[in-house]
Amino acid sequence: MVTAYLVNFGFDTSIILELVSEFSPKTGDKIVLLRPIDEIGIPERAARAVNEIRGLVSTLREANRLIELQDITLDTSNPIQVTADIANAALKLRETFERIVVDVSAGVRPITVATMLCAALNPALFDEVTMLTEPSRRRIRLPIREALELKVDRLAMTLAEASCNRDLKSLGLKLRTSEASVSRRITQLERIGLVSHKRGKISLTALGSRILPLAKAYISQHSFKYLDCSNDSKLVH
Contact 220, 228 (CB under 8 A): no
| Domain housing 49 | 3-141
The pLDDT of residue 179 is: 82
Question: Is 109 strand, coil or helix?
Answer: helix
- Average pLDDT per 10 consecutive residues for the chain, totaling 237 residues: 93 91 94 82 78 94 94 88 90 93 91 87 84 86 59 75 81 81 84 84 87 80 54 40
The answer as to whether 146 is a domain residue is no
The pLDDT of residue 232 is: 43
The answer as to whether 182 is a domain residue is yes
- Distance CA(208)–CA(210), nearest Å, equals 5
Query: Is there a single domain that holds both residue 134 and residue 171?
Result: no
Query: Is there a single domain that holds both residue 10 and residue 115?
Result: yes
Query: Is there a single domain that holds both residue 22 and residue 123?
Result: yes
Query: Is there a single domain that holds both residue 7 and residue 116?
Result: yes
The pLDDT of residue 41 is: 53
Boundary (domain end) residue, out of 111, 141, 171: 141
The pLDDT of residue 98 is: 93
For 155-168, letters b (16+ CB in 10 Å) and e give bbbbbbbbbbebeb
Q: What beta strand segments (E) does 9-141 contain?
A: 30-36, 68-74, 99-103, 128-132, 139-141
The pLDDT of residue 125 is: 86
Query: Is there a single domain that holds both residue 89 and residue 63?
Result: yes
